[in-house]
């Protein structure tokens, strides 16, 4: 893997030189845009809105619209000067119980590796987090964006999980949601039995992106000159009689187990 950032973790007066690596990757198919009649590939041009002329990449700068039509140009040095210290620092400001964090806040994982002078301090923080059962809440800057994350141990690794700020999580109070008065106790009992039947130990390797596999199959069939059979959508299930549906689900699961 290639490091995408280098700096240090800070907690109290302790500094740990580290390198940061992306801990996730996309599994989507890379599809090109084509002209329909001759399948000519489409490319995107950077065009000036005023004169409609293409602008070379080296002539493009970043700017903030300070007032209507008035821009302030920002250079790479400006982003550094905004907070030189924070651009090279994962600053742990608090320690908390991870279970207190609402799952809506989690966004993206990164791996942290100690630099040459940091193994001892890295191991110290990792072991202290393990024994305390806590995670560190940290500020950091990545790709010209101030971010919030938690530092947590995973076996011998320290992981930085990027989390959202509270202002980035939408309020759901305006949604129309049903109350519990619509549910009968017998239905809850059957639902609990079904959940119990379907409960397994979590194994992330078990779950695959089936849609990508199906799409690759369609591509392969078309590449061989065959027209894929049109898919037929299953009719939406009727949910009027929840008891009957739950009982049938339990019956099917018991048959599979047998």
How high is the mean pLDDT of the chain?
Answer: 87
Q: Which of 85-89, 120-124, 207-211, 218-222 has the lowest mean pLDDT?
A: 85-89
Average pLDDT over residues 230-251: 72
Q: Is the pLDDT of residue 240 over 70?
A: no
pLDDT of residue 84 exceeding 60: no
Cβ-contact 110, 23 below 8 angstroms: yes
Write the DSSP symbol of residue 49: T
Report the C-alpha gap between 177 and 170 in whole angstroms: 16
**Is the pLDDT reported for residue 238 higher than 80?**
no
Count CB neighbours of 98 within 10 A. 13
152 falls in which pLDDT band (50, 70, 90)? very high
Secondary structure class of 132 (helix, strand, coil): helix
The pLDDT > 90 percentage for the chain reads 42
Average confidence (pLDDT) over 207-221: 84
- Rounded to 5°, angle at Cα 162 from 29 and 147: 115
The tens digit of pLDDT for each residue in 87-98 reads 689 999 999 999
- pLDDT tens-place string over residues 18-31: 999 999 887 778 88
Give residue 138's pLDDT band: very low, low, confident or very high (50, 70, 90). very high
- Domains of the chain as residue ranges with CATH: 5-26+80-167 (2.40.290.10), 182-230+239-257 (no CATH)
Torsion, CA 75, CA 79, CA 81, CA 87, rounded to 10: -140
- pLDDT tens digits along 217-232: 888 888 888 887 777 7
> What are the beta bridge partners of residue 162?
108, 149
On the question of pLDDT at 8 being above 80, the answer is yes
Contact 156/104 with Cβ under 8 angstroms? no
pLDDT of residue 85: 56
Give tens-digit pLDDT for 30-61. Answer: 888 899 999 999 988 899 988 999 999 899 99
- Stretch 144-162: mean pLDDT, rounded? 94
Characterise 96 by phi-psi region: left (phi > 0), alpha (psi -120 to 50), beta (else).
beta
For residue 86, the model assigns a pLDDT of: 62
Residue 243, pLDDT > 80, answer no
Percent of the chain past pLDDT 70, that is, above it, reads: 93
Q: pLDDT class for 124, splitting at 50, 70, 90?
A: very high
Helix ranges (H only) for the chain are 76-82, 119-132, 185-198, 210-223, 242-257
- CA 89/CA 104 separation, integer angstroms: 25
DSSP helix/strand/coil, 124: helix
Which residue from 200, 213, 197, 207 is spatially nearest to 250, judged by alpha carbons? 197
């Amino acid at each position: 893997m290639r490091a995408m950032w280098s700096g240090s973790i800070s907690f109290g007066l302790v500094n740990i030189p580290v390198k940061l690596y992306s801990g996730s990757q996309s599994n989507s198919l890379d599809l090109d845009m084509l002209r329909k009649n001759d399948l000519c590939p489409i490319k995107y041009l950077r065009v000036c809105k005023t004169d409609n002329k293409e602008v070379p990449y080296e002539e493009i700068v970043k700017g903030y619209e300070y007032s209507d039509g008035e821009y302030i140009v920002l250079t790479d040095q400006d982003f550094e000067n905004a907070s030189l210290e924070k651009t090279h620092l994962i600053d742990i400001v608090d320690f908390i119980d991870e279970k207190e964090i609402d799952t809506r806040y989690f966004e993206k994982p990164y791996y942290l590796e100690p630099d040459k002078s940091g193994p001892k301090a890295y191991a110290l923080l990792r072991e202290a987090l393990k024994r305390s059962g806590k995670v560190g809440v940290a500020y950091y800057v990545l790709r010209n964006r101030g971010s919030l994350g938690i530092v947590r141990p995973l076996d011998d690794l320290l992981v930085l999980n990027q989390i959202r700020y509270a202002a980035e999580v939408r309020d759901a109070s305006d949604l129309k949601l049903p109350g519990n008065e619509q549910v009968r106790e017998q239905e809850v009992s059957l639902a609990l039995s079904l959940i119990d039947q379907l409960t397994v130990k979590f194994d992330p390797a078990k779950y695959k992106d089936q849609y990508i596999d199906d799409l690759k199959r369609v591509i392969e069939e078309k590449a061989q000159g065959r027209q894929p059979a049109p898919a037929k959508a299953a009719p939406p299930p009727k949910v009027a009689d929840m008891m009957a549906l739950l009982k049938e689900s339990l019956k099917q699961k018991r048959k599979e187990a047998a």
